[in-house]
Structure 1
Amino acid sequence: MHAMSDTQRRTRLGRRHLLAPSVRAASAVSVADAVVALHATDAATVFVSTCARLAEAGVDTVERALYEDVSLVRLLSMRNTLFTVSSGLAPYVNASNARAVAAKERRTFLTHLHDDGNGLGENWLIETEKATLAALTARGSATGSELSAAVPALRTKITIFPGKKQETVQGVATRVLRVLAAEGLIRRDRPRGSWTSSQFRWTAAESWPARELAEAQAEVALRYLRSYGPATEADLKWWTGWGLGQVRTALAATAAEEVQLDSGAMGWVSPGDTEPEPALEPWAALLPALDPSAMGWADRGFHLPAEHRAALFDRAGNIGPTVWWNGEIVGGWAQRADGEPVWRLLSDVGRDATTAIEAEASRLSEWVGETRITPRFRTPLERELTA
């Protein structure tokens, strides 16, 4: 059995995730495919993650892919989380994860409608969805507020969890749009405000080519191993949100090979991917909260010292902005109110690393310009740096 050292894993991460300067990409689609999926819960993450990996960083490049070419699309998929993937991979992510998420979203919403006790149910939802799609088609693109003005049913309010401690009154517009988006009938268009905003307009979406569940899961697993391998069963299970049986079936379908990790665990790589890769030039990176390179494994021990976790994660397990040196997380960063990037090193990495990090901070400032980035999930170190 081949062995795969932590050093080799960090080299793979730098090359395959396009983080070293010599391997940066020319397009946003190349970046998305290199990491399989970009976290999109926080709108800014898609842009900062992509630009960190582009040879020529720029907001326009990402916006063009999202809203003009539609070569990047957002899907509620793995772990019921919003991700951005390439349009070529989207049918597989849709079949492997998003369809199940959409079905759950619809069931949950119908349960809330039933529990409200006002006679709203599946027929009401179907008619409301038809009216919403008709209004959106007529306008081409619209915000949730604009659609609510056009469709009276969207202004309905229901009581969630009636009679329980968490009882609350909620408007249905957001839930209806969430279900339609999860089912791929509408997609997020340009937001109101800047590229950091999550107040999206909506537009009609084209349907994806059909893919069978097993085929789709095998394809997603293979893409994951090519980008993140070696990875354990637990890593793939966590990243996809699949059951263990589905993970093992998908690994078998890819003909994945086992390797021995420094931790003593068995990892998996794609077929034939067992040979060591040559070392990269020294590299530094400033990556955003929820970046895929930080969130791609359940066990991050090979690139994240355990003593750094408390400063870099929130209580829900979301990682904040991170500073990297040669494939290892060595600190965190933030953006002050005046726009200046500021960071703190948690590892002693030497003068060469500090110089490279300063250069990356300058590159970040150049393309971000006057925009201010505040992560949705605040972490202890990020809060300290912005205080």
Structure 2
Amino acid sequence: MGGGTVRRHIGAAERRTRLGLRHRLAAGAGAARPEDVAEALVALHGTDPATVYLAVGARLAEPQKTVAETERALYEDRSLVRMHGMRHTVFVFPAELTAVVHASTGIAVAARARASLLQDMAKAGAPDASWLAEVEASTLAALARRGEATAAELAADEPRLREQFVYAAGKSYEGVHTVSGRLLRVLGVEGKVVRGRPLGSWTSSQFRWALAPDHPELDVAGAQAGLLRRWLAVCGPATEADLKWWTGWRVTEVRRALGAIGAREVALDEGTGYVVEGDEEPVPESAGPWAALLPALDPTAMGWQQRDWYLAPELRPALFDRSGNVGPTVWWDGRVVGGWAQRPDGDVVWRILDGAGVGREAEAAIEAEARRLREWVGTTRVTPRFRTPLERELAG
């Protein structure tokens, strides 16, 4: 992987230039379609449904088309697919990447998820694996007949989905789980079902379910190499720690994939970094400084484990929740400089955090982005699923 003893140093400024250009944020880099945004980012974080649309809208050249075009891609053309991926998290992927994601990360996660469900049911004295297999087959058949359905609609066809069992009996976190909730989640990580159109607006988290599109079964190691190559091409350079964190793989898997794609070592301020072959040379300068308002859990803000090159440590307490989820962020020329929120009356407000050090040009550009966001969001009210200190304060 080294390709020689002399490694080119890629500093923070160049990394921020790469980020702006490749993540479709720099001036003139806006995308034409949601598919172009997903392609540029590899995956759109989908735990909070609104994040998908807000992340797309921040990068479209014509953001007023965000909702209609994203719904077309997700629910009509199916060119984007919402499914479980890295770190057992829901993402929206380009459709052609679903087989790669399933083989590279989903298979291992799915095995753990199914084992956990069976173990929890056994501890609760619930029916065994053969019973669950019958319910699963019946559920998938019902979904095939309906095309799309909610969990409640599926339970009307397969009443055993309503069965409940006690989880973690006697523990402080004891709870009651419904078979439908746990089983549909397992089927999701196994690549058998995907989330379909929501019941409400684009901010709704109440989804219908649909059968997953057919995809070929790929070799795990080959799929991991393919996924890592794709991500490194848009997010490189990155450290081994970044790669391990983003993928959720073991370090041995990360190193195997780096070797398989012939990744090149470069020197970063944090230590050794990696880029894809041919990406070692300096990148062209961007068209000038740029501003962006990115949503909570945006894939750019959450893209790396080591973030000092774009996010000063002293700003983090205001922008993250206790679980490490980032809230809405304000960016200026490749750095996070503050946060934003939407108030109940629909106004989009923002604040530059102390120590960020921006001037009037930045503030004018950020306000222009806030106006752009207000215009396309319109009457919709967006509250992040994971609230952060600054977002709560600004939202009032």
Q: Partners in 2 of 1:114 and 1:207 — Cα distance?
A: 32
2:4 matched residue in structure 1: none
Structure 2 length as normaliser, TM-score? Answer: 0.95
Name the amino acid aligned to 1:108: S
1:124 matched residue in structure 2: 131
1:95 matched residue in structure 2: 103
| Offset of residue 27 of structure 1 | 1.4
Q: Partners in 2 of 1:243 and 1:181 — Cα distance?
A: 22
Once the two structures are superposed, what CA deviation does each residue of 1:154-206 show, in whole Å capped at 9, x if it has no partner? 11011111233322222111111111222222211110110011100112222
Q: Residue 144 of structure 2 contacts residue 211 of structure 2 at CA under 8 Å; is this kept in 1? A: yes
Name the amino acid aligned to 1:386: A
Q: Partners in 1 of 2:268 and 2:175 — Cα distance?
A: 49
| Offset of residue 149 of structure 1 | 2.2
Matched, 1:326 2:359: no
2:148 matched residue in structure 1: 141
Given the alignment, which residue of 358, 368, 385 partners 1:359? 368
Q: Residue 291 of structure 2 contacts residue 333 of structure 2 at CA under 8 Å; is this kept in 1? A: yes
1:60 matched residue in structure 2: 68
Task: For structure 1, list consecutive stretches of 5 or more residues without a partner in the other structure.
Answer: none
| Offset of residue 51 of structure 1 | 1.3
Q: Partners in 2 of 1:226 and 1:135 — Cα distance?
A: 41
Q: Partners in 2 of 1:179 and 1:317 — Cα distance?
A: 25
Once the two structures are superposed, what CA deviation does each residue of 1:114-158 show, in whole Å capped at 9, x if it has no partner? 11114x111111111111112222222111111122211011011
Deviates more, 1:58-67 or 1:199-208: 199-208
| Offset of residue 91 of structure 1 | 1.0
Q: Partners in 1 of 2:171 and 2:24 — Cα distance?
A: 49
How many aligned positions are there? 385
CA RMSD of aligned residues (A): 1.1
Where in structure 2 are the equivalents of 1:18-57 lying within 5 Å? 18-57=24-63
1:7 matched residue in structure 2: 13
Q: Secondary structure at the match of 1:8?
A: helix
Matched, 1:181 2:196: no
Q: Secondary structure at the match of 2:50?
A: helix
| Aligned sequence identity (%) | 56
Q: Residue 167 of structure 2 contacts residue 175 of structure 2 at CA under 8 Å; is this kept in 1? A: yes
Once the two structures are superposed, what CA deviation does each residue of 1:76-106 show, in whole Å capped at 9, x if it has no partner? 1111111111011111111000111111111
Q: Residue 83 of structure 2 contacts residue 195 of structure 2 at CA under 8 Å; is this kept in 1? A: no
Q: Partners in 2 of 1:248 and 1:186 — Cα distance?
A: 31
| Offset of residue 382 of structure 1 | 0.3
Q: Secondary structure at the match of 2:274?
A: strand
Task: For structure 2, list consecutive stretches of 5 or more residues without a partner in the other structure.
Answer: 1-6
Q: Partners in 1 of 2:206 and 2:128 — Cα distance?
A: 28
Q: Residue 184 of structure 1 contacts residue 207 of structure 1 at CA under 8 Å; is this kept in 2? A: no
1:105 matched residue in structure 2: 113
Q: Residue 75 of structure 1 contacts residue 98 of structure 1 at CA under 8 Å; is this kept in 2? A: no
Deviates more, 1:153-162 or 1:321-330: 153-162
